[in-house]
Structure 1
Amino acid sequence: MTPRKQIHLAAHFPGVNNTTVWTDPRSGSQIDFASFTHLARTAERGKFDFFFLAEGLRLRELKGRVHDLDVVGRPEALTVLSALAAVTSRLGLAGTVNATFNEPYELARRLSTLDHLSGGRAAWNVVTTSDAFTGENFRRGGYLDRADRYERAAEFVRLSRELWDSWEPDAILADQAAGRFVREGAIGSVTHHGAHFSVEGRFTLPRAPQGHPVIIQAGDSDEGREFAAATADVIFSRHGTLEEGQRFYADVKARVVRHGREPHQLKIMPGVTYALGDTEEEAAENAAGIRRRQVGPQTAIAFLEQVWGRDMSAYDPEGPLPEVEPDLSEGVSQGRVAIKDRAAVAAKWRALAQEKNLSIRDLVIEVTGRQTFVGTPENVARRIDEHVQAGAADGFILVPHLTPGGLDDFVDKVVPLLQERGVFRTDYTGTTLREHLELA
């Protein structure tokens, strides 16, 4: 009998986006360290693989004004994770850091430092940026063409690994045991001359506890899938349904093999949300309430403007979709992921609104604000297990709708049921994130 696959779980700090229900009285600060501590400790209590932080290099704008949600602040990820290393002992610590607006030597040092401080729990979510809007905060500006961003990222990761590998394994331990400082030759010199980077020198830190920090990649484009298949240890995807997940899973795992790797060397973990209830009806009611609070009237109009590319503030969010056509010349939103084909998206939204007789707000709720897993704890545990056993995912990154207590119910009510099924650990068996993810 084939053993049941073990499920991997991670916790995403909700951050500044429309997932968070800001109006809930239990919603707390996005920058107070106590918020990060609460969510991280809850995830560690639930024996999760890692805690995950996103990144924001510039405040987003809508019609030339700072987007309302961004005013709560966007802390720098590795600083927060270094502090969390002191208040956790097993939980992996994953930070999103941009490969377009950083330099390999410095970032490799920061990530290696986190890995040493945490005893081998560091992870890097590699992201790229091609837009000049974000680049205005940096010396090089928006100099990269979109086609070049993954090329730079791939070279960035290769060079970082050269730096991490430049010290002999266990050089310090061996030399300390012999009563001497690190001997000549134990520290290698790195010489790299590529299309994007030129580095000659010696790295300042010995090999980290888990060798390399875990590499995470978030992307659904063909370039993103290829980059993950060749380079990453984890891919953070958006495919929450069983059928979509199975197609994505099969495609990416096949690419992994084509790159000469084993399928298990890349874990596929979609980002998901959830809503629980004592009954299926109560869970559905909770989910509907969360969706309406996530997409308030102002947010509904903001989403519409991103697709229509024009000021829609004169329209009633509780009224019907207007007849006006999208302005495809330029958008009104900056700092968000670009919508590739706004005309096609607008046509799809209009057809859906007509079919279901939806208001603007109900339409936006329908297309953006839904929970992946809705039901009783027993039903949610069963469905999560089914997705993993059916080859739709290796696990999930949970994105709660509340900061910082949004993970509490899942850890208290769903995790024990997964443990009873024999598909999730009852305790950590290793100390490093690579061991948690079965990559070691």
Structure 2
Amino acid sequence: MTRQIILGAHFPGVNNTTVWSDPAAGSQIDFASFVHLARTAERGRFDFFFLAEGLRLREQRGRIHDLDVAGRPETFTVLAALAAVTEHLGLAGTLTATYNEPYEVARKLATLDHLSGGRAAWNVVTSPDAFTGANFRRGGYLDPALRYERAREFVAAARALWDSWPADPFDTSDFLRTPDAGRYAVRSTHFDIAGQFTVPRSPQHHPVVLQAGDSDGGRDLAASTADGIFSRHGEYDDAAAFAADLTSRLARYGRSRDELKILPGVSVVLADTDAEAQEKAHLIRRAQVSPQTAILLLEQVWNTDLSQYDPDGPLPAEDPDDTAPSIIQGRTRQRDDRVATARRWRDLAEARGLSIRDLIIEVTGRQAFVGTPDRVATEMIRYVEDRATDGFILVPHLTPTGLDEFVDTVVPLLQERGALRTEYEPGTLRDRLGLPPVPADRRGAA
């Protein structure tokens, strides 16, 4: 039997890959844009719709990245509104464990799970920089080890709150006979909270927990706590290696491979022939990496002002100064060894005759399935059949119509080959993803 592909739909915006200059691009704030993408995903029998969240626009040398989104409404308000205009689609949103508190997040997610009939999911992230922290009273930021420690305790605290209500459906008339419903106490390094949780047990008991870290700490956090992990490892060999690494980590926590769904973010470029698709993909990547963006991304490695360089010219000949303070605002340092990265990039550029812009296009692109619908469907099925992944998060370059062609041309092929449902079955998002149910008798896990 063909393995079922999990599909998530990412709403474009919190990145610098959306092509806002395309005449077909629409608003990232108008609710109609969210509705179009969500309903398209549901028409394609996707598993869930995903909203990332950026808490501050990225800056470099005081300038906002020219291709970044200008703004984004608050995630869970949008998801709650989408619950009313969709019927089956999962609703996943990002909330940071660094600048939120467990009670508030657990309450929002349980509420969304009730409103949507069991379709809520939470992407747990840690926020690494003081630049973002300036928006919050706490300010500052946590060291990497403490960020992941707090995130792990945060998820445990949220689950303790969800576990605090009785397993049976709760009628408010029973409250006097169950006065301890919702009572909880969480004592840990980062949290000391106790009280009464106000939202009865929701359809999934625990909303689906996703995680998007690729560092050693992020992978361990996913292996120990998450139901799914977003990955940037979309190339087949990298994806297979990533899956093998996660499988070994899961074993350390007494979990099986089926308890963690691995979902790389990918783009899809389609055309009537493979050659046409390759040309189309090339034009899209040129639009995604403007001359200014190419210089900004190069500066993140060289860690200095490179505005005097020609984006269509060669890379700097000198190595970065790895001791200088970071010039990046609003983004964690992406590469631990700048000097080694710079030398590797120079070697690649020299060997292939690449300009700065060409080099950045080469090294920053996410995995793309490029070709005819038949080729794309065949490749996606191969990844999942081989357990290199469990599915994909599709990241379109257009808002809000970026999924339309995929749903119209690739989805029918996946359905014909038995890799994707033709209709939704009854049940929650957790059921649809093939995740084990949360034990019904859990209570007071903290």
Q: TM-score range by the shorter chain?
A: over 0.9
Identity %: 64
Note the residue ranges of structure 1 that are not aligned, 5 or more in a row: none
Find the residue that maps to 2:269 and give its secondary structure: strand
1: CA distance, partners of 2:69 / 2:417:
43
Give the TM-score, by structure 1 length: 0.95
Residue 2 of structure 2 contacts residue 419 of structure 2 at CA under 8 Å; is this kept in 1?
A: yes
Find the residue that maps to 1:348 and give its secondary structure: helix
CA offset at residue 182 of structure 1? 5.8
Please report the RMSD computed on the Cα atoms of aligned residues, expressed in angstroms.
1.5
- 1:42-191 mapped onto 2 (5 Å cutoff): 42-70=40-68, 72-172=70-170, 175=171, 181=175, 183-185=177-179, 187-191=181-185
Aligned length: 434
1:331 correspondence with 2:329: no
Out of 408, 413, 423, the residue aligned to residue 409 of structure 2 is: 413
Residue 319 of structure 2 contacts residue 343 of structure 2 at CA under 8 Å; is this kept in 1?
A: no
2: CA distance, partners of 1:297 / 1:70:
14
Deviations 1:346-369 (A, max 9, x none): 111111110011111111111113
Residue 85 of structure 1 contacts residue 117 of structure 1 at CA under 8 Å; is this kept in 2?
A: yes
Deviations 1:227-249 (A, max 9, x none): 11110000001111111111111
1:399 correspondence with 2:395: yes
Residue 16 of structure 1 contacts residue 69 of structure 1 at CA under 8 Å; is this kept in 2?
A: no
- Aligned partner of 2:290 in structure 1 is 296
Residue 16 of structure 2 contacts residue 69 of structure 2 at CA under 8 Å; is this kept in 1?
A: no
Out of 337, 341, 344, the residue aligned to residue 348 of structure 1 is: 344
Out of 360, 374, 377, the residue aligned to residue 364 of structure 1 is: 360
2: CA distance, partners of 1:265 / 1:182:
38
Residue 167 of structure 1 contacts residue 206 of structure 1 at CA under 8 Å; is this kept in 2?
A: yes
- Aligned partner of 1:376 in structure 2 is 372
Residue 219 of structure 1 contacts residue 225 of structure 1 at CA under 8 Å; is this kept in 2?
A: yes
Query: Residues 347 and 67 (structure 1 numbering): CA distance in 2 closer, same or farther, change over 3 Å?
Result: same
Deviations 1:210-263 (A, max 9, x none): 111100001111111111111000000111111111111111122223211222
2: CA distance, partners of 1:16 / 1:266:
25
2: CA distance, partners of 1:75 / 1:306:
28
Deviations 1:283-321 (A, max 9, x none): 111111111111121111111111111111111111222
1: CA distance, partners of 2:109 / 2:182:
19
CA offset at residue 134 of structure 1? 1.5
1:247 correspondence with 2:241: yes
CA offset at residue 20 of structure 1? 0.7
1: CA distance, partners of 2:14 / 2:188:
36
1: CA distance, partners of 2:224 / 2:104:
23
Residue 130 of structure 1 contacts residue 142 of structure 1 at CA under 8 Å; is this kept in 2?
A: no
Deviations 1:147-197 (A, max 9, x none): 11111111111110010111102342xx46xx6556324604101111101
CA offset at residue 331 of structure 1? 2.7
- 1:421-440 mapped onto 2 (5 Å cutoff): 421-439=417-435, 440=437
Residue 265 of structure 2 contacts residue 366 of structure 2 at CA under 8 Å; is this kept in 1?
A: no
Residue 171 of structure 1 contacts residue 186 of structure 1 at CA under 8 Å; is this kept in 2?
A: no
Aligned AA (1:430): P
2: CA distance, partners of 1:186 / 1:336:
44
1:267 correspondence with 2:267: no
Residue 287 of structure 1 contacts residue 370 of structure 1 at CA under 8 Å; is this kept in 2?
A: no
Find the residue that maps to 1:167 and give its secondary structure: coil
Residue 263 of structure 2 contacts residue 392 of structure 2 at CA under 8 Å; is this kept in 1?
A: yes
CA offset at residue 387 of structure 1? 0.6
Out of 306, 312, 315, the residue aligned to residue 306 of structure 2 is: 312
- Aligned partner of 1:15 in structure 2 is 13
1: CA distance, partners of 2:351 / 2:88:
50
1: CA distance, partners of 2:93 / 2:74:
9
Give the TM-score, by structure 2 length: 0.94
2: CA distance, partners of 1:46 / 1:86:
18
2: CA distance, partners of 1:171 / 1:373:
45
Query: Residues 361 and 167 (structure 1 numbering): CA distance in 2 closer, same or farther, change over 3 Å?
Result: same
1: CA distance, partners of 2:283 / 2:182:
58
Residue 294 of structure 1 contacts residue 369 of structure 1 at CA under 8 Å; is this kept in 2?
A: no
Find the residue that maps to 2:325 and give its secondary structure: coil
Note the residue ranges of structure 2 that are not aligned, 5 or more in a row: 438-446
Query: Residues 221 and 143 (structure 1 numbering): CA distance in 2 closer, same or farther, change over 3 Å?
Result: closer
CA offset at residue 19 of structure 1? 1.3
